Structure formats: structure tokens, C-alpha cells
């Protein structure tokens, strides 16, 4: 019998939200998955908890800031597909660290593309581009909408996006940009607004937190589920020709609406009073203030409205998101409720033990 060789995928940013969903997706498809982990940090592998022992998963030390480490990994692995997900991915933080963000997100991508060109030019390359590229261009945004970055994060991602197109045109590399709108999950980092909200809602419900502080409530985003979006990444690399595609749900909501939707999952109705930085969200039943504005959480320059038109991905790739906004938020709140109750139980046991001692 002829032995079949498994396809090899290399993922940068494997320990992030998308990295963990993509790893599971590719392992289920029968790939051998290799991941690059910066600083070999064991505690960062938490999101990979359910696949860490998988025989087809291998982690390598490497850093987007260190070209030699990328060369070493590409030389060793010789991947068929490369998914470049690594980034300093927090837009707000990029205003505090513009140079670092440019180095990881922008130059890091150039380093990886150059390593691929020299060491495995027949591999296929996926770049994690972002709807942030559009800045405040009017919604809905599609592949031909003007890109007007509003943050150091977006500026660095625009450089990376262009380098992918340059590699494609100059060297005929199979390199594609996925221009992804916001996508979330219970594994989302706690600094992003969806997870910050769902975690706070759960903690407020179980009584371990009193109030949720937020910045701009008027910003609107097109929020989908990460599981749907990693499937789209893979679909892009299965095409004969490389190209750029938007993945989006086509629906947008304000941060204020997100807060209402998340509290509704635990049967709390929020009513709003006051304007601008004086605005407060109260529990309709008790009158207690549960949400308030913290001016420090505003960005120096924010993107007001992102809502994507994913017609091209639908028509060419056959991609469609399966999870609705309401189901996404319910899943996240329910998962955070589980954690919040576990934590509360653990705290009670410790307190009892301390009192008994
Ligand atoms: P994430 O959870 O923040 O994950 C980012 C990953 O990059 C982490 O594994 C992180 O590792 C790694 N990383 C950071 N600096 C690195 C470095 N110098 N070298 C190697 N790895 C490094 O982000 P995500 O939400 O999964 O997003 C994945 C990618 O898609 C990112 O490029 C993001 O900018 C882009 N994107 C995300 C969305 C979205 O809505 N989620 C939308 C559009 C585009 P450590 O944690 O160990 O630092
Ligand atoms: N993080 C955060 N924290 N955002 C807040 C808060 C808060 O307390 N209060 C209001 N917001 C607003 C932000 O100002 C922004 O307008 C919106 O909520 C969404 O913020 P994030 O969840 O941090 O996501 P993002 O849209 O800036 O960036 C995410 O999506 C991009 C794709 O559009 C990240 O995943 C990026 O990496 C990704 O490229």
C-alpha cells in the first residue's frame, strides 16, 4: 500500500485565539501542524490545552523579530502552507508602542516572506490582514475600498499587506491576504472589548465585580466567530491562484448594543442615562450602575464603523459564516459564567480554610 504524506502547515501566532482554532481545524483535516512560539513561553500555550499532546503538533522556538529563527524553522519544517497570524494585535496598545508594533506586524511579515522566497518558494502563504486597514472609509467596506489606516497597528498591517502583494507580483509566490473583520470567541484575549464585556458580565452576575468601565460606546464593529474565520483562511490557500479576500458577517453593532446583548444573556436589562463621558448603564430592575465611561479607555484616534462585504469570498471560495452575533455572545457569556462560578467556589473554599485555621 502507498503511504500518503500528510500536508504540513506552519502557523505563526499559534498560541493566539485564531492560532488555536486553526490548529484544531488543520489537525482534524489530517495536517501535520507546526507552530512558532516566541520565547518558548510555556504559560502562553494555555489556549492549545486540548491539542498539546497531539502526535501531529510540533512547537518551535521562534520570533517574528528574529529573522534567523524564522529561517531555521522554515528550513527544518519545509511547510506546504504558512499561516502568518503572529502580531501585536491590540490596536489601542499600538499607540503606546508604535515602533514595536511596526517591527512585529510589518517587518516581521517581510522577514517571513523573504525566508519563504529563499527556502520554500512553492509553499502557500496566508497573511492575517485586517479590516482596520480601511480606517474610517465609509461602510460597507469591500476589497476595493480605500485603505486609510488610523493607528500604528493598521499602518504596520498595511505595510505587511503590500509586501504580500509585492511578493505575489514580483516572485509569483502563492501569497494571499485575508482581510478579516473582527472575530471573537471564548478564547479571545481579555483586553478586547467583547471578551472584556462578557467576562465582566459574568463576574457582576456572580457578585465578584461591581462595575464595568469602557471607552467609546458608539464604535460599531462587524463581529463574527473565530471558528468560521479560520475555515476561510484555509479555503484561501486551497485556491489555484493567490488573491485577497474579505471575511465578514455583513452585520455591525455598536459597543453599547454589545453590552446590552451580553447582560441580556444573564437576564439583566441595561438602560442608559447621561451623555458622552457621563453616560452610565443601569440595571433596569435595581437601578444599580453597572457600566460607566473611563476617559482613559478612549483611543487617540478610533475607527467608527466597520462592516464588511464578503461577496467575493462567498462567490469564489463558497465561504459563509455559520455563527450569528447573538449565538457568539451567548457562547462567550456562558463560558465566562462557568469560569466565574469556578473562581467563586475556589475563593469560598480558601476563605473557609483560612477561617478554620
Ligand atoms: P492574538 O490572540 O493576539 O494572537 C497573536 C499571536 O501572535 C500570539 O500567539 C502571540 O504570542 C503571537 N506573537 C506576538 N508577538 C510575536 C512575536 N514577536 N513573534 C512570534 N509570535 C508573536 O490575535 P488573534 O486575535 O488570534 O489574531 C490573529 C491575527 O489576525 C493577528 O495578526 C491579528 O492582528 C489579525 N487579525 C485579527 C482579527 C480579530 O478580530 N481577531 C481581525 C483581523 C486581523 P504571545 O501571546 O506569546 O505574545
Ligand atoms: N479594547 C477595548 N477596551 N475597546 C473598547 C473599550 C475597552 O474598554 N471600550 C470601547 N472600546 C472600543 C474601541 O475603541 C474600538 O472602537 C472597539 O471597542 C473595538 O475594540 P477592540 O475589541 O479592541 O478591537 P479592534 O476593533 O480595535 O481590533 C480588533 O479587530 C481588528 C479587526 O478589525 C483586533 O483583533 C485587531 O487585531 C483586528 O485587526
Q: What is the pLDDT of residue 31?
A: 98
Runs of H (alpha helix) within the chain: 17-28, 67-77, 91-94, 98-101, 108-119, 152-171, 193-206, 226-237, 255-265, 311-312, 325-356
Tell me if 17 sits within 8 A of 188, measured CB to CB: yes
Instruction: Give the pLDDT of residue 40.
Output: 66
Q: Report the nearest-CA residue for atom 1 of ligand 1.
A: 16
Predicted local confidence at residue 122, as pLDDT: 98
User: How high is the pLDDT of residue 44?
Assistant: 60
Instruction: For residue range 209-248, list pLDDT tens digits in order.
Output: 999 999 999 999 999 999 999 999 999 999 999 999 999 9
Q: How far is the CA of 85 from the centre of ligand 1 (A)?
A: 5
Which residues does ligand 2 sit against, CB inside 6 Å?
89, 91-92, 130-132, 181-182, 191-193, 196, 214-216, 219, 221, 255, 297, 299, 302, 306
- The whole-model pTM stands at 0.97
Q: Which residues of the chain have pLDDT under 70?
A: 1-3, 40-44
Residue identifier of the C-alpha nearest atom 27 of ligand 2: 91
User: What pLDDT, on a 0 to 100 scale, did the predictor assign at position 355?
Assistant: 87
Amino acid at each position: 500500500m502507498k503511504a500518503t504524506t500528510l500536508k504540513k502547515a506552519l502557523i505563526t501566532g499559534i498560541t493566539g485565539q485564531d492560532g488555536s482554532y486553526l490548529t484544531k481545524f488543520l489537525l482534524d483535516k489530517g495536517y501535520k501542524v507546526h507552530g512558532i512560539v516566541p520565547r518558548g513561553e510555556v504559560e502562553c500555550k494555555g489556549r492549545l490545552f486540548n491539542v498539546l499532546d497531539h502526535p501531529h503538533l510540533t512547537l518551535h522556538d521562534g520570533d517574528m523579530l528574529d529573522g534567523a529563527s524564522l529561517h531555521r524553522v522554515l528550513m527544518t519544517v519545509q511547510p506546504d502552507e504558512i499561516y502568518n497570524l503572529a502580531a501585536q494585535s491590540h490596536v489601542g496598545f499600538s499607540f503606546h508602542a508604535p515602533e514595536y508594533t511596526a517591527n512585529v506586524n510589518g517587518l516581521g511579515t517581510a522577514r517571513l516572506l523573504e525566508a519563504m522566497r529563499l527556502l520554500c518558494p512553492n509553499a502557500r502563504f496566508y497573511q492575517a490582514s485586517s479590516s482596520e486597514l480601511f480606517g474610517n472609509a465609509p461602510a460597507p467596506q469591500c476589497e476595493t475600498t480605500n485603505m486609510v489606516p488610523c493607528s500604528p497597528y493598521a499602518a504596520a498591517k498595511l505595510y505587511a499587506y503590500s509586501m504580500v502583494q509585492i511578493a505575489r507580483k514580483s516572485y509569483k509566490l502563492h501569497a494571499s491576504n485575508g482581510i478579516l473583520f473582527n472575530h471573537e470567541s471564548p478564547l479571545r484575549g481579555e483586553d478586547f472589548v467583547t471578551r472584556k464585556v462578557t467576562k465582566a458580565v459574568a463576574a457582576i452576575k456572580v457578585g465578584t465585580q461591581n462595575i464595568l468601565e469602557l471607552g467609546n460606546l458608539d464604535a460599531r464593529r462587524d463581529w463574527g466567530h473565530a471558528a468560521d474565520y479560520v475555515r476561510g483562511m484555509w479555503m484561501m490557500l486551497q485556491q489555484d491562484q493567490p488573491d485577497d479576500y474579505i471575511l465578514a458577517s455583513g452585520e455591525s453593532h455598536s459597543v453599547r448594543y454589545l453590552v446590552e446583548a451580553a447582560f441580556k444573556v444573564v437576564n439583566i436589562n441595561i438602560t442608559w442615562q447621561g451623555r458622552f463621558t457621563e453616560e452610565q448603564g443601569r440595571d433596569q430592575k435595581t437601578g444599580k450602575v453597572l457600566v460607566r465611561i473611563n476617559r482613559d479607555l478612549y483611543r487617540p484616534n478610533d475607527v467608527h464603523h466597520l462592516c464588511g462585504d464578503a461577496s467575493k469570498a462567498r462567490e469564489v471560495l463558497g465561504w459563509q459564516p455559520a455563527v450569528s452575533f447573538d449565538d457568539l455572545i451567548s457562547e462567550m457569556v456562558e463560558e465566562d459564567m462557568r469560569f466565574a462560578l469556578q473562581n467563586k467556589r475556589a475563593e469560598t473554599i480558601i476563605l473557609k480554610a483560612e477561617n478554620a485555621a
